[in-house]
Chains A and B, each alone.
Chain A
Amino acid sequence: MLELLCMIPFLPFAGFVILTLIGRRITDRLAALIGAGSVAISAIITFVVGYNFLVLPPAGHPYTQVLWTWMRIGSFTPCISFYLDPLSLIMILVVTFVGFLIHLYSVEFMKGEEGYSRFFAYMNLFVGSMLTLVLADNLVLLYLGWEGVGLCSYLLIGFWYKDPANGRAAIKAFVVTRVGDAAMAVGLFLLFTNLGTLNIQELMGLASQKWPIGSGIAAAAAVLLLGGAAGKSAQLPLQTWLPDAMAGPTPVSALIHAATMVTAGVYLIARTHVLFTLAPAVQTTVAITGAATLLLASISAITQRDIKRVLAYSTISQIGYMFLALGVGAWSAAIFHFMTHAFFKALLFLGAGAVIIGLDREHDMYKMGGLRKQLPVAFWTFLIGSASLSALPLVTAGFYSKDLILWQVWASDRGSILLCAGGVAGAFLTSVYTFRMLFLTFAGNATSQVTRKPGPLMKIPLITLAVLSLIAGLIDIPATLGNLPTLSEFLHSALPPVPMSHANPLIEGKLQFITSLLALVGIMFAYRIFLHSPQHTGRAEEIKRSPIATAIHCFLFQGWNFDLLYDKFIVQPFVRLARFNRGDFIDFIYTGIALFIRSFNRVLSFTQSGKVRWYAAGLAVGAVILIGIAEFL
């Protein structure tokens, strides 16, 4: 049954091709059926393959399916081949299942939109590319999927292309991630020239044989791959595109910019973890990047007005947690957090989508409020998602994954107290911005009337994801609460366990207690500031009006003004250079040749007067010159 593996990415691609070819001529109903159906079948096959993989002895043994040789250039022969191990199995399970739920949601969400079949065509292409990315057994095929998801991200951010702002956001996302992609491509070239193969497993084997720990080439390759990962996963310093990417339809944000594509960087680093182990300095950089990103993004999230931008900053910050985990060698914790994050963040986006469409495309949270009664399903599921994001203890999935990360950051030999403190502070900020969003949207007095309520196709994904956001954490129970790390053990054949030499289980319990307490304090804090006690709000207003506070607020609202920085130091100098070089210096040579030839032509055509006597004179002069040359030279 494992041979069905190739059907998993193939079906969404088939859906894409069919929708592209006949999308204009079929009804919306059929387009939705093809679009969601192909992903649904793909999800079912994934479950079948996953089941077979689990029961196949020996458990956790990787399976490779070679379809054909892609190209043959000397010793470089990348194959179209898929590689299934515990890591890619978790990835395809999440991608197909969450992808299917979001497709189902989109069937209703996008109803009546122009370009309905185009939407599903792009979504299918995205799912296919994402599956190719995670199943690829060599880095070239992975790169194909990597660029494929980047393309779909561009197409879907700019889905409502009639508004130029959306087009600009799409271009920004594409260009900023391209910076990372270029670094990654150079990294692939470096790996190939040094090790002679791009097959991931061979590559990892060769790298650990040939390069000692701390070698320069390994560090260079790891840095370049980190560049690619940071671009795709919106980490510092390439995080600026993700908040603007919210211009796309909400299901797109849920699928691409929360659950799957943006975690491709996490997957890439986990997949090539050997390289990062060989370059401890780079691995520390990963951890620091993650910690810095999660703090910066979560502080920015507190100041946002647009509900989707809060979620976007939250996504950046949660991926920061995954990078933090990767940076201390807690590979499986990162994948665990990827999985729970995919569930609760997709849920939050879909819930936000229900609110936005219910209020006729209203994004501003300050214009919402009191929607608890009007949108009960959206409220309860959103509450569960928020609880999971804030990692409320014991009952939510986010608690288990975030706690595993924080504990391993503390306990790992690569970790440090400072990094762990960053993570804990982030946990507090997370619950503040999450519950600020929840209170502003759903609590308080009703200010606006809901015009459209979610139907069954929107409710089913919301409820399913809500259930998963509650129970998905139970597959990896920490030592303090029963010690059943099923997922970590399952992943250990693909990803090595965390190097822990000074682990102290007592501290784990304390850490869990502190994090949980901070999350609850954060909720209280959000409640006091943003919902309760008007005199408090009055004082807050007073503070808010002071110029310094306004400036700081503005600074944070713009996401630490990274856009301004890049605009000043990269975009504008480049534009100036381009304007300066408008004539193109290199072109001068060619226009010069053309000008010379034109003037020469003018001189020559002047001699062609049509007067026979001039020709005769020319002949005579020429003869005299020739004779002169023959005689005297």
Chain B
Amino acid sequence: MEHGLILAGMLFCIGLAGVIVRRNIIFTLLSIEIMLNASGLAFVVAGSRWGQADGQIIFIFILAMAAAEVSVGLALLLQLYHKFKTLDSDTASRMRG
């Protein structure tokens, strides 16, 4: 069980690092997926530890949410490319405070 959580934690950190470091917006989306799956893994591991189905149910929810998120994210990506002719997320910084 600890191994599962450690794996989930490592995956989450890898995903987070990807979000922070990568400028290409496609990789940002990919990293977010990794983070989502890391948290899903943590739920599943915890569910198996307590012998309950709740962890898997939550994972289904996370999958559904990830699908929705990806569709919105891809739509944004398309718009971004349309507008700036690049996939660099830092170019879209006109709304800074």
Nearest A residue to B20, CB-CB:
A617
Nearest B residue to A618, CB-CB:
B20
Which residues of the other chain, B, contact A616 by a CB distance below 8 angstroms?
16, 19-20
Which residues of A (576-626) have their CB < 8 Å from a CB of B? 604-605, 607-613, 616-617, 620
Nearest A residue to B12, CB-CB:
A620
The smallest C-beta distance from A612 to any residue of chain B, in angstroms, reads 5
Which residues of the other chain, B, contact A612 by a CB distance below 8 angstroms?
28, 89-90, 92
Quick check: B97 and A611 within 8 Å, CB to CB? no
Quick check: A608 and B19 within 8 Å, CB to CB? no
Which residues of the other chain, B, contact A605 by a CB distance below 8 angstroms?
97
Q: Mark B40-51, 1 if CB is under 8 A from A, else 0.
A: 000000000000
Interface residues of chain A, those whose CB is within 8 Å of chain B, are 604-605, 607-613, 616-617, 620
Quick check: B20 and A608 within 8 Å, CB to CB? no
The smallest C-beta distance from A470 to any residue of chain B, in angstroms, reads 89
Which residues of the other chain, B, contact A611 by a CB distance below 8 angstroms?
89-90, 93, 96
4 pairs of A and B residues whose beta carbons are closest in the complex: A608-B97, A610-B93, A610-B96, A605-B97
Nearest B residue to A609, CB-CB:
B96
* Known contacts A604-B97, A610-B93, A617-B20, then 7 further A-B pairs from the complex at CB < 8 Å, ordered by chain A residue: A608-B96, A609-B96, A610-B96, A612-B89, A613-B28, A613-B89, A616-B19
The smallest C-beta distance from A606 to any residue of chain B, in angstroms, reads 8
The smallest C-beta distance from B51 to any residue of chain A, in angstroms, reads 26
Which residues of the other chain, A, contact B28 by a CB distance below 8 angstroms?
612-613
The smallest C-beta distance from A468 to any residue of chain B, in angstroms, reads 83
Q: Mark B73-97, 1 if CB is under 8 A from A, else 0.
A: 0000000000000000110111111
The smallest C-beta distance from A613 to any residue of chain B, in angstroms, reads 5
Nearest A residue to B94, CB-CB:
A610
Q: Mark B13-40, 1 if CB is under 8 A from A, else 0.
A: 0001001111100001000000000000
Nearest B residue to A601, CB-CB:
B97
The smallest C-beta distance from A611 to any residue of chain B, in angstroms, reads 5
Which residue of A604, A609, A612, A620 has the most chain B CB atoms within 10 A of its CB atom?
A: A612
Q: How far is it, in angstroms, between the C-alpha of A610 and the C-alpha of B92 when the chains are bound?
A: 7
Which residue of A607, A608, A616, A620 has the most chain B CB atoms within 10 A of its CB atom?
A: A616
Q: How far is it, in angstroms, between the C-alpha of A610 and the C-alpha of B95 when the chains are bound?
A: 5
Q: How far is it, in angstroms, between the C-alpha of A609 and the C-alpha of B95 when the chains are bound?
A: 8
Which residues of the other chain, A, contact B19 by a CB distance below 8 angstroms?
613, 616
Q: How far is it, in angstroms, between the C-alpha of A611 and the C-alpha of B21 when the chains are bound?
A: 12
